Amino acid sequence: MKYGLIGTDVQYSYSKKLHEMMGRDKYELLILKPEQLALFLTKKEFLGINVTMPFKVDCMQYLDNMEQRARQIGSVNTIINQRGFLMGYNTDYIGFMYLLNKNNVDVFGKDCVVMGSGGTSKMIRVALQNKGAGRVRYCSRIKNNGMSYRDLANDIDVQVLINATPVGRYPNIEDKPVDIREMKSLETVIDINYDPYTSALGVDAKERGLKYVGGIDMLVMQAGAAHKLFTNKRVSDNEIDKLTKKIIRGSINIVLIGMMGSGKSTIGKKLAKKLKKRFVDTDDLLEQSADASIAQIINARGIDEFRKMESNLIDRCSSLKNAVIATGGGAIENIDNIRKLRKNGLIVFLNRDLDKAIKSVFEEGNKKRPLAVDEVTYKRLYEERYEKYRMCADIIIEDTDDIKTIIKEIIEKAGI
């Protein structure tokens, strides 16, 4: 191959898509076993490659030279073949610094811990030191010179936690390297994995009200820096921002929550069309799978059984990509539903004016709304659920009668 990415687990990588978007039409993803690395690099049948886990350190022994930064870090993620002379670089450093700056992550004087002991962890530790972090430690599954995950889970001093391991990335999105509940001083969680959009670790951080940053910004910027090495053409920050939005738009789900009558289905269909995403209505899917209406399901099986069916369906929907998902009004009653949907989705609360929502519901008729049989019951449900909606939401859209304005606001607030 001329250009591409090598690693043991690259089939889910966004790198091919990114480099093709930057104009590199022949960029390959190549899975190598550890025992194949030496032959691949000594044959030198490529012009430029990116390197990912677990080869960022091991590849260095086959290089003819390295830039000073890569040498300082002790890790290489980009190799250029200059007529048989292999030169190593570390563009991950550029990407990580960009991530910190773009997301206003302040590490100066902070107690920072990096999970992982490989090449990416080495890079992050150097970057943190260069940004003036107060203390930089690392942990791994096997306690060497660093901490173990068990030690970390009980550490009350850590303020900035960074996951530089593959734990929690697609398709194993339920996994997380550590439980952060006992980290009393924790302020910021960064997960350099970018798929799913919010890792299980990130969901925990958001539920605690901590600052969370995923790895998509780092991914795109390091790819832009590698592209410059491949082509000698710089990718501007404006282009990086556009590429990031395109990647997010093409993968992330938009999840609509809110009361019945808030317009989730109507807005969801138009939003999906605008963003070229699939539209999914969980109530409709539930009725199709049960071959019965929501009212019939609740009347025949009871509300508890209905909620179990709804949660099972949402579990399946949470694995979707590039979809707009309209949920039932009571989906937020089970916080696990939101945890699942949040991993690859942004939660949008459509907070329609109460009187307008009631008018919409009861003008349509109430056949599909068995839990709100009259206006009094509707208002009671709204009051019970209101704080849950706000707590679950990444984005809140206050009432507007203009669907185009709502869609525009969702897109702007989602950053896509």
Residue 151 has which token pair? 């030690």
How would you classify the pairing of strands 48-51 and 3-7?
parallel
| Distances from the Cα of 66 to the Cα of 63, 70, 88, 119, 233, angstroms | 7, 6, 4, 15, 20
- CB of 226 closer than 8 Å to CB of 235: no
Residue 414 has which token pair? 């989602």
- CB of 42 closer than 8 Å to CB of 5: no
Residues linked to residue 161 through DSSP beta bridges, in sequence order: 113, 189
* C-alpha span between 143 and 141 (Å, rounded): 6
Residue 334 has which token pair? 């089970």
Q: Which helix (H) or strand (E) holds 349?
A: strand 345-351
- CB of 178 closer than 8 Å to CB of 201: yes
Q: Residue 171 carries which side chain, given as an amino acid letter?
A: P
Q: What's the sign of the alpha-carbon dihedral 10, 12, 213, 208?
A: negative
Any long-range contacts for 169-174 (C-beta under 8 Å, 24+ apart)? 169/12, 169/193, 169/194, 169/195, 169/196, 169/199, 170/12, 170/195, 170/196, 171/12, 173/199, 173/200, 173/319, 173/343, 173/344, 174/200
Residue 369 has which token pair? 């709304």
Indicate which residue of 26, 33, 56, 228 is catalytic.
56
Instruction: From 51, 196, 199, 215, select the one nearest 118 (Cα to Cα).
Output: 51
Active site residue 413: no
Active site members = 56
